[in-house]
Structure 1
Amino acid sequence: MHKTKTLQRLALATALMTTLWGGSAHAVDISFFRFFGDCKTEFGDVADMAKANGECGIITALTNKFNAENTIGAKVVTQTVDWGAYYDLLTATYSTGNIPDVAVMHASVMPNFSDRDLLTPLTKPLADISVKTDDFVPAALKNASAKDEVYALPYDLHALLFHVNMDLMKKAGLVNADGSLILPKSPEELLEQGKKFKETTGKYYIGSESQSSEGMMVRVFDTLTWQQGVDVLAADGKTASISTPEGLNAAKLISSIYSEGLANSALDYPGSEQAFLNGETGILINGTWGVDNYDTQAKSGKVALKDYRVANVPQIYAKPAVWADSHMWVIPKDDGRTAEKTEAALAFLKFLNDNNFQWSRTGHLSVRQSVLNSEEFKALPHRAEFADTTKNATALPQIQNQRAVYNAMTTDLNAMWLTGTDPQTAVDAMQAGVERILRRNR
């Protein structure tokens, strides 16, 4: 009799779990809000991670793999949003009621949401699903935290890099006898090497997005200012140091890159990447996220880029530093979300964390120490070439409206090569625009 009752109780428990999680009749759909592009044509049916590359391909394949393999009846439904409109549309979902269950978020933007109680606290939920936060490198855990609470699952550290066409650098005589790359160690050397490159190859020394709100050169401006020992924004987020001698030095150097014809001011983001792949640029200034894609393209034999190399952004002032940020996953707060959806969202986060190595294949640096220490990670292409980036990565302080600060700086900095604004006027305008935003924050 006792054995029979035990079996009945087990059957009842099994039936309950089946009702909640199993079978198509009770499948749980969770909405996934992200950027990274739309690559359904190429990767829409790919769940084999070995067949995926690039940010879009890898996150698409990871999502497909979770949908195919999870045992709780969960299905992730992806909504892909254009990068430029992403945060405006995410904010709008809180008004429309279509709040996503999981969303990507930059560490630099998180205060806009965590400070307004718009994110689900994750300290206990992550512990409950056995995500070990002590495996995250300290900077990543700090990025994901506010007021002694974890609000995000950190997923990477991404920073600016120099992506290099070694064939063009050899032609320009900017390679040592041992095959190592010659990079500038001062502002003067950068301009001298750029002129030498242009004269010998007839190509642009530097490629960068120069036209849109992507603001790649703002990241360069921040890097150059930090390398002179000056914080662009104070740690408390109350003051800015942009219209300073150091800020003017940075602006003058960037302006000279364009005025000397060392960079093509007509390129938007896709155009800058295509120019690099087409062999029209010696050095592409872009982030870690491009490494896997450019390496794959170079090895394919289908583009002009053949000998691809990666380098840390060089130290040309007194202090090593380079702009950096982090991608993270959050569960936007939604009082109407069911327990089943919450459990499925957390299961997806655990799956993403378990597969952090796959994301690091993009070129992004893993935030998990166990992944960084693994032979698998160390064997990835080019990692030794930009290993110091982890030591030099520098981020703006986590303050509200950092994205607005970034956009304001982009408009006024871009004016130097788009409308002929002189560097002093540009840094003065950036300073004034950022100060207005900081006053609103206060």
Structure 2
Amino acid sequence: MRHLIIGAAAAATLATGAMAQEVTLGRFFGACEDAGTDTKTSTGEACIIQSIINAASAEIDGVTVTTLPTDWGNYYDQIKASYAGGTPPDVHVMHRHRVPEFAGLGALAEISGDLEAAGIDPADWSENALAAVSYNGGVYGVPMDFHANLWHVNMDLMEAAGLVENGAPVLPSSPAELLAHAQQVKEATGQNYLAADFAQFPIGVRLVLALMWQQDANIFTEDGTATIDNDAARNAVTAITQLFDAGLADPQLNYADSQQSFLNGEAAILVNGTWVVDFYTAEAAKEEVGLDNYYVADFPTLFDTGATWADSHMWAVPASLKSDADKYAAALKVLAFINDHNIDWARTGHMAVRKSVLDSDEYANLPHRSEYTGTAAIARDTPPSERYGAIQDVLNRELQAIWLTGKSVDDALADAEIEVQDLLDR
């Protein structure tokens, strides 16, 4: 890790907290108007993160944190516009896959030398967490989690289909078995086997990526060569489209509708991330919700090698903030507070990044945690790229063209490879 010497003014402010500062904070995760400051009882991503932010504002001497309104769907467009206009938030959340883009442009502050003075111990971060916030030898943020795609399971539907053994769901181990299980569920219950957001956000992209990684393939190489128009991608897409073709999954569900279908008891499996475990647990406890017997499973291996899509959330500070030592010190205090509350954020279902939290009984005892302990070992991603966001958009458009408009798999993959190669060549 590269170490920098913190400026004298920043060090003094960190030590004394003498100057009152307003820290603006940009985030996604959804809205929560009544989160309060209790970080232990809030439920769901939006309210848990907002309770941590509210507590930071209430508890850090001389610092007020103001959450800026942002939307998940166009979050990065808003953040880029704020940087372009010279008014980025003092602290903002971002994904690991965006670090090369923002750090590569010099937009983010390199903070490695200032962490310990702010009360953050990077030695307590897991190796993968440190890697997630690192770029070209520098540290450009404070990690908050690892998140990944899971299989959320309605055990009542699976039980009715004869797909439960020893209290755990029986999950498929090949595309053929996936189709067979889906048919069993439909015949036994009349419900769909699998639901996911195939029509809006890039959940379908993440499904295809996972199934390509399971074949030891990827969508582009370290040297910037697009590798999409191939048998591995065809196998991955076909594993999904066979369910659509047989009427065992609905390709027209968006994110909200796919969640509602699962909560209504209309799908045996929902493919979604770690971020909803706490929310679904709370929903399943409600009498009026169709989902009653909820289970969380690692993404099954349908090909040769276990793999699932994964990413991480982190908190970054604009490089321009370093010119204001007092504001910069206040922003680092907010980062330290969020880092201190890693166990509270892990209540969402996300995987923690601090070793001390990962080793704690409190973490081990979180609901459903033992059901997806294998996820960390199979987490995968694409090679780093400054064009990740645009590449994901291309894949989402072309895959949706396959299952929503009838575009041929061959044409979609060929068109995607051409466009992705063009992005990589820029």
Q: TM-score, normalised by structure 1?
A: 0.91
Q: State yes or no: 1:69 paired with 2:56.
A: no
Q: State yes or no: 1:224 paired with 2:176.
A: no
Instruction: Give the equivalent residue in structure 2 for 1:326.
Output: 312
Instruction: Give the equivalent residue in structure 2 for 1:115.
Output: 104
1:164-187 deviations in Å (ceiling 9; x for gaps): 1101111111112x2221100011
Instruction: Give the equivalent residue in structure 2 for 1:161.
Output: 150
Q: Choose from 375, 384, 387 the match for 2:370.
A: 384
1:86-122 deviations in Å (ceiling 9; x for gaps): 1111011122222210000100011111001000001
Matched residues in 2 for 1:210 and 1:164: separation? 18
The 1:336–1:353 alpha-carbon spacing in structure 2 relative to 1, beyond 3 Å, is: closer
Instruction: Give the equivalent residue in structure 1 for 2:3.
Output: none
Q: Choose from 33, 36, 59 the match for 2:29.
A: 36
- Any idea what SS the aligned residue of 1:302 has? coil
Q: Which amino acid aligns with 1:234?
A: T
Instruction: Give the equivalent residue in structure 1 for 2:9.
Output: none
The within-5 A match list for 1:146-295 is 146-176=135-165, 178-212=166-200, 214-236=201-223, 238-295=224-281
- Any idea what SS the aligned residue of 2:289 has? coil
- The answer to whether the 8 Å contact 1:226/1:232 transfers is no
Q: Choose from 77, 82, 96 the match for 1:93.
A: 82
1:217-250 deviations in Å (ceiling 9; x for gaps): 11010100010111222124x0122111111111
Q: Which amino acid aligns with 1:69?
A: E
- The answer to whether the 8 Å contact 1:409/1:433 transfers is no
Q: State yes or no: 1:56 paired with 2:32.
A: no
How far residue 333 of structure 1 moved from its aligned partner, in angstroms, is 1.9
How far residue 399 of structure 1 moved from its aligned partner, in angstroms, is 1.1
Q: State yes or no: 1:393 paired with 2:379.
A: yes
Which range is displaced more, 183-192 or 197-206?
A: 197-206
Matched residues in 2 for 1:116 and 1:346: separation? 21
- Any idea what SS the aligned residue of 1:163 has? strand
Instruction: Give the equivalent residue in structure 2 for 1:135.
Output: 124
- The answer to whether the 8 Å contact 2:90/2:321 transfers is no
The 1:145–1:336 alpha-carbon spacing in structure 2 relative to 1, beyond 3 Å, is: closer
How far residue 337 of structure 1 moved from its aligned partner, in angstroms, is 5.3
- The answer to whether the 8 Å contact 2:148/2:311 transfers is yes
Q: Which runs of 4+ in 1 moved over 4 A?
A: none
The within-5 A match list for 1:312-351 is 312-334=298-320, 338-351=324-337
Matched residues in 1 for 2:213 and 2:237: separation? 13
Q: Which amino acid aligns with 1:188?
A: A
- The answer to whether the 8 Å contact 1:107/1:398 transfers is no
How far residue 300 of structure 1 moved from its aligned partner, in angstroms, is 2.8
- Any idea what SS the aligned residue of 1:381 has? coil
Gaps of 5+ in 1: 1-15
Gaps of 5+ in 2: 1-11
| Alignment RMSD | 1.6
- Any idea what SS the aligned residue of 1:49 has? coil
Matched residues in 1 for 2:57 and 2:26: separation? 16
Matched residues in 2 for 1:148 and 1:302: separation? 52
Q: Which amino acid aligns with 1:39?
A: C
How far residue 422 of structure 1 moved from its aligned partner, in angstroms, is 2.1
Q: State yes or no: 1:357 paired with 2:346.
A: no
Matched residues in 2 for 1:265 and 1:251: separation? 12
Instruction: Give the equivalent residue in structure 2 for 1:12.
Output: none
- The answer to whether the 8 Å contact 1:259/1:417 transfers is no
- Any idea what SS the aligned residue of 1:100 has? coil
Corresponding residue pairs, total: 414
- The answer to whether the 8 Å contact 1:159/1:324 transfers is yes
- Any idea what SS the aligned residue of 1:199 has? helix
- Any idea what SS the aligned residue of 2:256 has? helix
